[in-house]
Amino acid sequence: MEAKKTVLIVEDEKNIVDILRFNLQRESYATLEAYDGESGLELALGKNPDIVLLDVMLPKMNGFDVCRALREKGSSVPVIILTAREEEADKVLGLEIGADDYITKPFSMRELMARVKANIRRTAMGAGASSGATMDTGTGLVVNTESYQVTKGGKLVDLTQREYDLLTFLASHPGKVYSRIDLMEQVWNYGYVGDDVRTVDVTVRRLREKIEDDPANPVYILTRRGVGYYFASKV
C-alpha cells in the first residue's frame, strides 16, 4: 500500500484549518498544522511534508517570507499559497519567490483538492518511475529524470518542482510550440481557468533566469510570439 501523502497546513484561522484537515483526511491525506509562519517553516523543514498549503497573512512571519526562506534553505516541497487578496501582484509575487501555485480565498474545497493532487502528482510519478534516464540537450544542460536534478555545465541548477516539470515537458518535445493553455493542462494538470495562464509566463521567466546565460536572449526556452513557448530543437 502506498504511504499516505502528508499535507502541511500553515494557516492562523482555526476554522479554515479545521475544514482543510477534515477534507484532506477524508481524501486519505495525513495532515500537519501550524498556526504561525515561524512554526510553519520549522515543520516544513523538519517534517518533510509532500506539500504545503501556505496562508499569506500569518503571525510572526508572513507566508511570502516563509516560502522565500524554504527555497533559500534548498527545500523544493510544492507550495500552494492561499491568498485572501485578489490582486494580481500578490499572485505574481508568490510565484516569483518560488511558490508552485496559488489559490484565492474563498476557495471551493473541490478546487483546492484538485490543486493539491495536481501539485503532488510528480512525486507520486517519481516513486514509480523507471530507470534513471537522463535527458541531455547536447548543450551542457542535463536533466536526470530519476533524481530530478538539472545540471548546466556540470553545475546543479536549483529548480522548483514546477520549473522542473515545465522544463522536462518542453525539452522532451523539442521544437513543438505549446500555448499557455496547453501548458496549463499538460504541466499544471488542470484545465484553463481564467487569468491563470499568467502563471505560465512567470514560471517561464523564472526558469530562464536559472538556465539561460542571458535570460533576455534565451537559447533553450523560446517564445513563439502570439502562440506560446517551445524548447529549441537545436541550441
Which stretches of the chain bind Ca ion, using CB under 5 A?
Answer: 12, 55, 57
Please say which residue, 81 or 143, places its beta carbon nearer to Ca ion: 81
| Minimum distance from residue 229 beta carbon to Ca ion (Å) | 35
Nearer to Ca ion, 9 or 166 (CB): 9
> In this complex, which beta carbon is closest to Ca ion, that of residue 12 or of residue 182?
12
What's the closest the beta carbon of residue 199 comes to Ca ion, in angstroms?
22
- Provide, rounded to whole angstroms, the least separation between the CB of residue 202 and Ca ion: 23
- With CB atoms as reference, the residue minimizing the distance to Ca ion is 57
Q: How far apart are CA 229 and CA 205, in angstroms?
A: 11
Spatial CA neighbour of 71 closest among 92, 56, 52, 86: 52
| Nearest residue to 98 (alpha-carbon basis) of 72, 61, 123 | 72
Q: How many CA atoms lie within 13 A of 111 on its CB side?
A: 13
Q: Which is nearer to Ca ion, 56 or 221 (CB)?
A: 56
Min dist. Cβ of residue 159 to Ca ion (A): 29
Q: Shortest approach of Ca ion to residue 16 CB, angstroms?
A: 8
| Closest distance to Ca ion from the beta carbon of 1 (Å) | 35
**CA 212 to CA 163: how far, in whole Å?**
13
Q: Of the two residues 84 and 133, which places its CB atom closer to Ca ion in the complex?
A: 84
